[in-house]
Amino acid sequence: MGRLDGKVAIITGAASGIGRGTAMRFAGEGAAVVIGDLNVEGGEAAVRDCKEHGGRAVFQKADVSSESEVKSLVARAVKEFGKLDIIYNNAGIGGAVGPLEKISVEDWDKSIAILLRSVFLGIKHSVPELRKAGGGAIISTASVAGLRGFDGLHPYCAAKAGVVNLTRSAALEFAKDKIRVNCICPGGIVTPILHRNMPGVKEAMEQLLEHGQPVQRAGHPEDIAGMALYLASNDAEWVTGQAMVVDGGLTVGSGFASPQAGAQQTPFPVQGFMGPSFEK
């Protein structure tokens, strides 16, 4: 018997990384999963992964910064599976990086739209269906960058801090509806948003992140999927408004010698815009 038997979940950004790992975990625990992403090839592959884990899944192409497309994503879940019990607002990008004074307003706005507005939209349009189902779980991916500063990641830090506090205010509003609202703050997780699927870079990121926190290994999507499963399940019935830190101890003590450590091994631009991980 799975921990999510009979549940219907939407997971955004599920064509790769944390979202894909969570989709497979949810499917394996009995959930029907709607995978929302711009990456069609990756999304369809994720559906196959979910089915191989014994679950039901469909893919819908969705730009999470678009209100109409988020509404359509929720409607697809209800059309395909009859209801909605869980939404995981996970989709994200690196966004605008570099010195604050050199970030354009356009890149700032695009970063905030994908990293923060999308969470607002996911909450807004899932709540009516969750209420019809008698309650449910809203989960969002925040970050340790929403709890502390990181040089050169200004829009990302600001947006993720917004996700943390939006989680708290939404939890207050929807507790009466038995809708729990929580977010997860991952640390250094090896996903395509970091290595961009470039040859050799994934291995380099593994080595770099091994020494970034007290637990001497890099984080993986499965680490976050485990927390998402807990928050989505009935085990977390009395947990709401929380920012759950899953970071190998990064926020209690970093092992990085400097922010530039290993910089030459990563695809991070010194300045610019980091879009979806499947785009080169």
Annotated catalytic residues are 156
DSSP 8-state assignment for residue 266: S
Which residues, 6 or more positions from 186, have their beta carbon under 8 angstroms from its beta carbon?
A: 18, 141, 143, 144, 219, 223, 224, 246, 247
Q: How far apart are CA 24 and CA 46, in angstroms?
A: 8
Q: How far apart are CA 146 and CA 163, in angstroms?
A: 8
For 88-97, b where at least 16 C-beta lie within 10 A, e where not — what string? bbbbbbbbbb
Look up residue 259 and give its two tokens: 């922010």
Q: Is the Cβ–Cβ distance between 51 and 57 less than 8 Å?
A: yes
Q: How far apart are CA 223 and CA 67, in angstroms?
A: 30
Which residues, 6 or more positions from 36, have their beta carbon under 8 angstroms from its beta carbon?
A: 10, 11, 12, 13, 14, 43, 59, 60, 61, 62, 64, 73, 91
- Torsions phi, psi for 109 (to 5 deg): -65, -40
